[in-house]
Amino acid sequence: MTNSNKNKIVLVTGGSGFVGIHCILQLLEQGYTVKTTLRSMNRQEEVKDMLRVGGINSFENLSFIETNLSKDDNWSEAVKDCDYVLHVATPISLEVPKHENEVILPAVEGTLRVLKAAKEAGIKRVVLTSSFAAVGYSHNDPKTLITEESWTDPNDKTLSAYLKSKTLAEKAAWNYIANEGKGLELSVINPMGIFGPSLGPDLSSGFEVLKQMLDGSMKAIPKISFGIVDVRDVADLHLRAMTNPAANGERFLAFTGEIISLPQIAQFLKDNLGSKANNVSTIILPNWAVRIIALFNDKAKNIVPQLNRVKNASNQKAKTILDWKPRTSKEALLASAESLFQFGGVKI
């Protein structure tokens, strides 16, 4: 496999991010030449340090280019000579913006900027990292099976700006391919909550909820359920979608296949981490309490629409078409917890 990939060049956008760095790691392991975009070239050593943690010690097949999703500069240079693009980078903010367009416009325009550059450069295929946010946030009936055919309704008034931005950015990508991007292939990955091992101390936003459980700052646990997926499996799915002819024009839901609740996660940490989980609370926060907190807390306000909603979803498509074999939720959670201990997020 390695030799045949030697001459293939892949651009990974957002190489310093949680998913991006795992994509780069697996591409280099498989013998690809990788270019990656960074918002600042000052982060090159940080990326190399993370790759060293992952077992890569030679960087002759890795190069960096400075770009920003909100500007045209350097994108034509970034995609030059590449065979594939993994568009992983996304503007992300957990803060609630003053206006939703502060989040939506950069997501939509950034995606189109990358697709247009790829089209002009004659790239074979772009794999876009979207989100379950674009698939399953308008479906409240647990009897409804959410699949890749499902879409979140961007006009749903309960959506946060971030959820709406992921939906509109992916819709914009498919519209571009249908109307202007003829000849450019597109595959889309829609992950649920991404956990798993971090390769460095700059922990992704998904770790925050586990951190608050483990350090005891989350005194009571809201009744929220979601699917999770290990970051290593998200990266693996990107690589499978990049090269498999059957992935062209398709979306793939990425999660372990299990929907899990925050109270279940808290109990799991208690059961599996021994004294390291001494600070984990298993007290359940009633829905009415979350609603009261939401009156003066924006983060709580964002989770109110998800209370008691169970997403009944399927990961069958990725397993069937791409022979994808994801790790379990437990493996992903334990790897995340270990990263929190390792990189000082949580003191033992």
Nearest to 21 by CA among 61, 40, 57, 48: 48
Number of H helices, E strands in the chain: 13, 12
Nearest to 26 by CA among 119, 106, 127: 127
Give the whole-angstrom CA distance, residue 86 versus residue 70. 18
Query: Among all chains, which residue has been given the structure tokens 């940490």?
Result: 269
Active site residue 325: no
Q: Residue 194: what residue type? A: I
Helix H or strand E segment including 225: strand 225-230
Reading the block at residue 91, the tokens are 């503007």
Give the whole-angstrom CA distance, residue 294 versus residue 292. 5
* Residue 303 CB burial class (10 angstroms; 0-12, 13-18, ≥19): middle
Give the whole-angstrom CA distance, residue 290 versus residue 286. 7
Indicate which residue of 166, 219, 270, 299 is catalytic.
Answer: 166
Which residues have a catalytic role annotated? 166
